[in-house]
Amino acid sequence: MPKIISYTPAWLSKPNPGHEIFVPSSLSADHPSLSGGVGRKGTGKPGPRRTIAQRGTEVFIAVGREIRWADLVYLKEAWEDKQKSSGKGRKRDSQYQDDHAQGYRTIKTPVAGEIRQLVISPNSNYLAILTSHTVHIAVLPESSHLTAPDTGPMKLKTYTLGPTTHVTSQSGVASALWHPLGVNGSCLVTVTEDAVVRVWELSTGDRWSFDRPTLAIDLKKLADGTSVDQDFGASGSGANKGFSPDSFEMEVASACFSSRGSGGWYPMTLWIAMREGDVYALCPLLPEKWSPPPTLVPSLSVSIVAKVAGMEDDPEIPANSKLLAQQQLAWMSDIDIQEPVHIDAALGEPAAEVYTRPSKPGRIPKLQGPFDFDLAPEESEDELDGLLSDIYVIGARIDGEELMFGEEDELEIEDGDSSAGLSVGVVCLLSSSGRLSICLDLDGIEAQWLPKLKSKVSRFIEETDAPSLLTFQVLDTLRNAEVGNNNWPTFSHDCNSRYSFFITDISCVTYISLTPWVFRLENELNESTAGTDFRVDLLAKGQNTTRERIYTQRPDEQLAPLAASSVIQDPDLGYLLLTASLRGPVSITFESPDFEYAILPRQSESPTYELESEKPLILCEPRPVYQPAPSFEETSALPLLLEKLRHSKYKRLLKEEVRLSPATLTIMTDVHKVLSEETHRIGTAAAELFRRCERLQIELKSQIQKTNDVAHRVDAISGKDNGDELVLPCNEALEQRIEAVKRNQEELTRRIENLKKRQTKGTNRELSDRERAWMEEVAVVERKIIPSAQTGDSKSEATEPWKRFEQVVELKEKLLRDVQELAEEAEQAPLPSPSVKVPSEIRKAKMAQVMHLLDRETALVEGAKSRLERLSLG
């Protein structure tokens, strides 16, 4: 877990502008967000609160129907400049003064209800604004508009997405996702609660692209589909909306894509989590025009071709698998014959290649699911444990070595972290009770389509088993007392690692990291050595996943739920997590993994800027800054009650003396309800303030004690202590301490050696069975290699290796003598007649064969001798 350095800084606290941009201008007790989206009448329903969107150091915060736009670095520097000017006691002209731009603006939106989600596009040029039922797309301006002279509210160019589709009379919007393979990040996928997926390819030059989707799929129809030729489009506004089991079991809770840099089919797979606990996948889901990363098409082409080649002549493979492979081959063949169009990408990125969605075997894929959960825990008695709220998918890594095997040119991998990690996908599910289920997609998601209606092969296809996910670990992030019906936990991506994320509940933030076991599991899956099953079982049963709660709201603040966290990594801000409620922002600063940021000078300061002194040593754990309870600032409801009584039938009693009567009792009862509730809130807040004051005194004493201990240690090291002994110079004192440590180390080493010798002498235990077997094996090898002094049976000795070696040596010497004699006779004798002449090639071949046999026997004997020597030494 990253180390926490500090919590909400001063420039994000009251009464600075950094705090005010997160809170509404007027907050009343009946605000619809104070109870998780439930209004006065209680007709609202809980849902995700993703009200913070990020673009670099800029943040967009949804507050009611407004959007606040701010640059956090600008706000921080403005606060620092204000502190410097107030400390010097004189005013100086600065860009951060009140008559200049303040680095934040208010954006007016045309929405009719409270904004629940803000989703920014990959290229940061569009912002999707979601209410419970409507979707608006805003075109974002440049950052320079934040520092423009005009600081008043601004109105952006906004388009209504689906004016007749996403309306209040239709089903609510569960998720809006920017497709990772959209052209320049302009493709939006909306998923409604009634399980309808729509793909929108947006273009500001074509207003019709905001009116109708290019692809609409009703998942309830697709789940029962049998042929790709059927109509799976969404029903019109006049369709029957009566109750059906599908409408209850297929109520969408959330949907997600994996990252663009994932391997395999993951970038084009839409994962849908149903509220009742089912999980579905839609692969491949592509817009009409799509832009893949450089490694996607080659990796898919290699895997599909290898798969088809392996299945072609294997009779044991079922017909449905062969049909699926042929469908994938037809889909890839349609891509291979295309000539991609090269268009300009975002600034600083290479030109993008744009492909057209293949028409074969069909533009609508098969709905895969519901997935079976292997090794799933037993069903809980708590109903909220089975109600899913969010889904988060980490795609498989890209195998760059396998992809580039035999290739001369290397492809650039966009995501630097995508080449490391698991070769299988990870699917994380989150329930309303805060239960996190970590599942592995061992089978691997693949593209699937329904067969054609007139296809002959489809008649003989057997029913396939339902896809499955392996439940690896199950964790709880909430206590029993913190679970509520309005809770809707959400995932937030961590910018430093693809295997870590944050979970934001209604009242707390939890850090989760899968890094401790991901790389170990990948090694076990790749090596597959002896004991792999045992080690994998230890990984699954052990609590290897890092789970740490980093923030918890006070009990009196839980009526204002936290928004989904946003993580920022910037040299000026550091490694920052930002969340907010209607009470104000909450930020947590972690120790940045990139330590280069800490030593770089700030570029925004003038050349005469003097570097600040080193930060003091942190002697205590950081904690959230105390914020006064809202009860101290809320206005009393008693004046409003008195005003109502003056216009009611009891107005006469307010001017008369108090008399015992039913009317007086009614008035006193109403007043007591108001006063008792207000005094209870104020008393609770005052008690919390008192406890904080006592805790502050205790912490102050602890810090003083720790500082005193550190000071004594420094004085002892430097030799400046004021004891009775003579004060030595710093260098001499350090040298004496080093010499004392060396002497102590030598003494410990000597004692350890003595203990080892005593232990060796005192050990007199019997040999184990394995040691006896090893000694017997050494003796057998010795008898086979070295001749023993005892004479044995001549027949048995003839088969021993040492006897064979002696025979080979004798044979070698004899052959050498014979060859030498024949050579001498050949030199002295006259030339033989042509009838008895032996060709030189045959003589050379025979000699080479003999020498090869001799060398082989010699190597065998030498290897046996060396092995015996090693065994003897061991």
Q: Is the pLDDT of residue 390 over 90?
A: yes
Residue 783 is predicted with a pLDDT of 79
State yes or no: cis peptide before 365, omega within 30 of 0: no
Full-model pTM? 0.75
Strand duo 158-160 + 173-178: pairing: unpaired
Q: Any idea where the domains of the chain sit in the sequence?
A: 1-160+550-609, 631-718, 800-817+841-874
The pLDDT confidence band at residue 148, using thresholds 50, 70 and 90, is confident
What's the average model confidence in pLDDT over 87-92? 58
Element (H, E) at 253: strand 252-256
Q: How confident is the model at residue 834 (pLDDT cuts 50, 70, 90)?
A: low
* 147-158: average pLDDT: 81
Q: How confident is the model at residue 267 (pLDDT cuts 50, 70, 90)?
A: very high
pLDDT tier at 793 (50, 70, 90 boundaries)? Answer: low
With cut-offs at 50, 70 and 90, classify the pLDDT of residue 38. Answer: very low
Note the Cα 398 to chain centre separation in Å. 16
> CA geometry: angle at 497 spanning 495 and 499, to 5°?
125
Residue 43 has pLDDT above 60, yes or no: no
Residue 725 has a pLDDT of 54
Burial bucket for residue 383 (CB in 10 Å: 0-12, 13-18, 19+): exposed
CA angle centred on 177, ends 176 and 180, rounded to 5°? 170
pLDDT at position 711 is 83
With cut-offs at 50, 70 and 90, classify the pLDDT of residue 528: low
Of 53-62, 135-144, 434-443, 525-534, the poorest mean pLDDT is in 525-534
Q: Is the pLDDT of residue 549 over 90?
A: yes
Q: Is 571 exposed, middle or buried (0-12, 13-18, 19+ CB in 10 A)?
A: middle
Q: What is the pLDDT of residue 36?
A: 41
pLDDT (mean) for 469-484: 88
Which residue in 493, 468, 464, 489 sits closest to 478, CA to CA? Answer: 489
Residue 30 binned pLDDT confidence (cut-offs 50, 70, 90)? very low
Query: What percent of the chain lies above the pLDDT cut of 70?
Result: 82
CA distance 591 to 209: 44
Looking at 25-39, 69-83, 531-545, which range is the least confident one?
25-39
DSSP string computed for 308-376: HHHHTT-TTS-HHHHHHHHHHHHHHHHHHT--PEEE--STTSPPEEEEEPP-SS-SS-PEE-PPEEETP
Instruction: Give the DSSP letter of residue 178.
Output: E
Structure tokens at 827: 């030199």
Q: Do 276 and 251 meet the contact criterion of CB atoms below 8 Å apart?
A: yes
The pLDDT assigned to 614 comes to: 45
pLDDT above 90: residue 462:
no
Lowest mean pLDDT among 402-416, 654-668, 841-855: 402-416
* Residue 182 reports pLDDT greater than 80: yes
Sequence-distant (6+) residues with CB within 8 A of 792 are none
Distance of CA 560 to the CA centre of its chain: 27
Ramachandran angles phi, psi of 63, nearest 5°: -130, 105
Mean pLDDT of the chain: 81
Q: Which residue has the higher pLDDT, 705 or 25?
A: 705
pLDDT given for residue 238 in this prediction: 46
Candidates 538, 498, 328, 314; CA nearest to 413 is 498
- pLDDT (0 to 100) of residue 609: 40
Residue 125: is its pLDDT beyond 80?
yes
Among residues 193, 199, 247, 254, the alpha carbon closest in space to that of 220 is found at 247
Residue 685 has pLDDT above 70, yes or no: yes
- The residue ranking higher by pLDDT, 290 or 418, is 290
- Spatial separation of the C-alpha atoms in residues 688 and 10, rounded to whole Å: 21
Burial of 279 (0-12, 13-18, 19+ CB in 10 A): buried
Distance of alpha carbon 17 from alpha carbon 60, whole angstroms: 15
| Phi, psi dihedral angles at 688 (to 5 degrees) | -65, -40
- Chain-centre distance for alpha carbon 155: 35
798: pLDDT confidence band, cut at 50, 70 and 90?
A: low
What pLDDT does 142 receive?
A: 87
* Cα atoms in the 13 Å half-sphere on the side-chain side of 84: 12
Residues facing residue 58 across a β-bridge: 55, 71
Query: 727: pLDDT confidence band, cut at 50, 70 and 90?
Result: low
Residues in the chain: 874
Mean pLDDT of 275-288: 93
Over range 755-767, report the average pLDDT. Answer: 74
Is the per-residue pLDDT at 781 higher than 50? yes
Q: Are 256 and 268 in contact, with CB atoms under 8 Å apart?
A: no
